[in-house]
Copies of this chain bind each other. A is one copy, B any other.
Amino acid sequence: MARSTMRDISRVTGFSVFTVSRALSGGDGVSEQSREQIIKAARELGYVVNRAAQELRRAKRDTVAIITASTSNSYYLDLMAGIQRALDPSEWTVIVGDVAVNGAYDARLEARMIQRLIESRTAGVISALTLQPEHAELLAKWDIPVVFVDSSPPPEAAHFPSVTTNNHKASMMVGQHLAGHGYKNWLFLVYPAKWSSRFGRESGLRDAASIAGANLVVLETANDSASARETLAQYLDDHAKPPHVLIAGNNPLLLGAMGLLKDRGIQVPGDMAVVAYDEFAWSTLTDPSITVLNEDSEEIGRRAAVMLREIIDGQEAAGRKGQSQSPVYVPEHRQQVSARLMLRRSCGCLESGRETAKGSSFQAA
């Protein structure tokens, strides 16, 4: 069966292309009887609308893009769930653009992605990383609104909306907990400043360390497991006294670090305690189970999507009034969500197997 167009349906039914369009898109100006006849013909011909033609003609856009670097960070799944819940999938199309290659952020990929989104006149963007300033500007020039999640806008575009974890507060909480354990030497293994969540996390830990009279060392590494492992190995080789506690900035870094500690026979938490950012599926099943700071990624995704929808609706309303289509950003479009600390064995909690209270006699090697 050949690909059919509205003109084919028009020929078959005898109605004009106008009437066919109106009938299929649910607009008025068509009698119920005619509509049924047209829909029936469309079904028989196997008609499917051509989105390119539709988008070319229509002002209204219905595709939003999520920009992320590496979907291996499992928070991404919750984020998506939250977004999907806020954007009715029959009305919106959500596409995901991963700007990481082999788990590592790639600047050229980001440029290509932005170009692509502008080419297809995307309705809006949710970005899980701090975009390069020129890219944020480019999107703004094309009136494409951007909401940053779990990351802040670049300083040059500070007024852009964002939904983030209150990283400073959350990290203070982490620090206070570590102080409670009596740890004095903290090592923060962290990804580059490209992901802006780093700043809040670092300053929160720093403030907590200062209050507790602890010593904080910040060790930066590229944002993947292999680099994290190598960077940490180098650090441990160079320093006679290992830290009391290792704070892993995110999941891939934790993975790299844990692999190294295991291979070197460093007991956790006996020889060195560990805490990490971001919850992940296996956190309770590793040896030992890992204490993590759990962001409410689903809530972040939901709020970001709602926000984006509001901004796009605002643009449309302005467009109908003949006003500027530039996205309007207001201060309420900067929100923070709080996080929870999930206490497990790696930080030194539950040492005596309190876990067994829940029904396990599971023993670590």
Mask: chain A, 52-95; 1 = CB below 8 Å from B; 0 = not: 11111000000000000001101011001100100001100101
Asked if A56 contacts B46 (CB within 8 A), the reply is no
Closest chain B CB from A298 CB (angstroms) = 10
Asked if B287 contacts A262 (CB within 8 A), the reply is no
The stretch of A154-162, A184-192, A278-286 that contacts the partner chain:
A278-286
Chain B residues near A46 (CB, 8 Å)?
Answer: 141
Chain B residues near A118 (CB, 8 Å)?
Answer: 48
Asked if A259 contacts B359 (CB within 8 A), the reply is yes
Closest chain B CB from A138 CB (angstroms) = 8
Asked if B48 contacts A56 (CB within 8 A), the reply is no
Closest chain B CB from A116 CB (angstroms) = 6
Determine which of B93, B101, B142, B265 lies in contact with A361 in the assembled complex, contact meaning CB atoms within 8 Å. B265
Mask: chain A, 276-313; 1 = CB below 8 Å from B; 0 = not: 00001110111110000000000000000000000000
A121 within 8 A of B: yes
Asked if B48 contacts A115 (CB within 8 A), the reply is yes
A264 within 8 A of B: yes
Closest chain B CB from A122 CB (angstroms) = 10
A51 within 8 A of B: yes
Please give the number of chain A residues whose Cβ is less than 8 angstroms from any Cβ of chain B in the complex: 65
Determine which of B54, B89, B225, B264 lies in contact with A359 in the assembled complex, contact meaning CB atoms within 8 Å. B264
Asked if A265 contacts B77 (CB within 8 A), the reply is no
Asked if A3 contacts B262 (CB within 8 A), the reply is no
Tell me the complex Cα distance, A96–B95, Å: 7
Chain B residues near A263 (CB, 8 Å)?
Answer: 356, 358-360
Closest chain B CB from A246 CB (angstroms) = 14
Asked if A51 contacts B121 (CB within 8 A), the reply is yes
Tell me the complex Cα distance, A90–B358, Å: 52
Tell me the complex Cα distance, A217–B56, Å: 57
A37 within 8 A of B: no
Asked if A52 contacts B362 (CB within 8 A), the reply is no
User: A90-B112, A285-B258 known; A265 and B362 CB under 8 Å?
Assistant: yes
Asked if A84 contacts B101 (CB within 8 A), the reply is yes
A103 within 8 A of B: yes
Determine which of B50, B285, B353 lies in contact with A119 in the assembled complex, contact meaning CB atoms within 8 Å. B50
User: A50-B119, A101-B84, A121-B51 known; A362 and B262 CB under 8 Å?
Assistant: yes
Tell me the complex Cα distance, A365–B284, Å: 13
Asked if B359 contacts A281 (CB within 8 A), the reply is no
20 new A-B contacts, CB < 8 A, other than A51-B121, A265-B362, are: A3-B143, A48-B115, A48-B118, A49-B119, A50-B56, A52-B56, A52-B121, A72-B74, A90-B112, A95-B95, A258-B285, A259-B285, A262-B285, A262-B362, A265-B359, A265-B361, A285-B286, A285-B287, A286-B286, A287-B287
